[in-house]
Amino acid sequence: MSELSTTSSQPARTVEAVTLEIQTLQRQAQQLLLGYAIEIGRRLVEVKAMLPHGQWGTYIKEQVGYSQSTANNLMRIFEEYGAAQQSIFGPEANSQALGNLSYTKALRLLALPADEREAFVEEHHVEDMSTRELEAAIKERDDALRRAEEDRAEREAAEQAREKIAQDMALANERVAQLSQELEELRVRPVEVAVQHAEEEELEQARREAAADARARVEALEAELAAARKQQTDLLNQHQEMDRKLKEARQERKDAMEAQKAAREELKQAREALERAQKELRASGNKEITQFGVYFEACQEDFSRMMGILHKLKAGGDAEGRAKLTAAGGALLEAMAKQLAPFREEGAASC
């Protein structure tokens, strides 16, 4: 009887409490796994230095059962994350922030420069991310760096082009001024006849020829001046067109970055809303809620992959293909929204 009363007096365990324990154990196991991976890598580095040349591949395959890539990953994990000295408290990383990561996440972060990893982990809360979310965050960071480099290259090219146009315009302005002066002087200059002693008829003929030469020179100068002024106009138009295209490109990239940021925020809010809904409904034991969460995350991941393909098409200049896929994706989202609308209305009515 006393045994029965003791058992019944224990507090009832809930799904939430057990789930929290599981998640805590998962984190602890991940941290231990990274720590042991560091120490295995430390010893692989040590034994590789001991082995004669040419025996390393055979050793890792026959003695420890690792492939070349696995052994390389473990050694690099040690070199990048391992503390210089072994700790008396057991395996550990050289940083608390990095030490809380799983082995898989630590491998993914090797794509970043060593001096950026810890800040990246803290800024993006990598510990709470899934591996796919981490890969997406790293890709986003790489894309941002690539866009920044492209912007820098464009600015340099635009500046060089501006300098060249400015030089050409200065020369054109100088030429226009010179031609205008020559033309004005020619128009007011009296016709000179290089005949000192001649009959009146010969003198008149010489004057006519000199006048014709002067007119021809005026016409030539006028044509040259018109060409120089056209060059001025063309250079000015080129400068304005270059500025316009550069501004459009910058605005397009800014809009794309803002759209990506907004999309990420919407996905984050959707995930948080789903987690809240799951938490509220989990007590009911409804298996469909858990299944929905799995499908929801898969849908988010597929959408991220689709966006990645669109960005690749954009970078490759395939405007037609990108437009077709964007239209198809938009049609799919509209169809999904229409199918969800009745459920949304029912939910609003029940509130």
* Residue 350 counted as domain residue: no
* Residue 105 counted as domain residue: yes
Residues 20 and 157 occupy one common structural domain:
no
Domain-terminating residue out of 243, 278, 313: 278
* Residue 45 counted as domain residue: yes
- For the ranges 4-18, 34-48, 205-219, 257-271, the maximum mean pLDDT occurs at 34-48
Residue 173: which pLDDT band, with cuts at 50, 70 and 90? confident
* Residue 351 counted as domain residue: no
Residues 172 and 231 occupy one common structural domain:
yes
Residues 125 and 135 occupy one common structural domain:
no
| Averaged pLDDT, 252-277 | 72
| Mean pLDDT estimate for the chain | 76
Which of 216-230, 268-282, 305-319, 325-339 has the least mean pLDDT? 268-282
> Which structural domain, as residue segments, surrounds residue 219?
131-278
Residues 180 and 310 occupy one common structural domain:
no
Residues 93 and 160 occupy one common structural domain:
no
* Residue 196 counted as domain residue: yes
Query: Model pTM?
Result: 0.48
Residues 255 and 267 occupy one common structural domain:
yes
Residues 26 and 120 occupy one common structural domain:
yes
* Residue 173 counted as domain residue: yes
Confidence at residue 48, expressed as pLDDT on a 0 to 100 scale: 94
- Whole-angstrom CA distances from 339 to 211, 265, 333, 343, 345 are 88, 23, 10, 8, 11
CB-neighbour burial class of residue 109 (10 A; exposed 0-12, middle 13-18, buried 19+): buried
Residues 105 and 135 occupy one common structural domain:
no
Residues 106 and 194 occupy one common structural domain:
no
* Residue 183 counted as domain residue: yes
Instruction: Give the contacts of 322 (CB within 8 A, at least 6 positions apart).
Output: 310, 313, 314
| Averaged pLDDT, 35-61 | 92
Total count of domains within the chain? 3
Residues 238 and 328 occupy one common structural domain:
no
- Structure confidence by residue, pLDDT tens digits, 290-319: 667 667 767 776 777 787 787 777 766 777
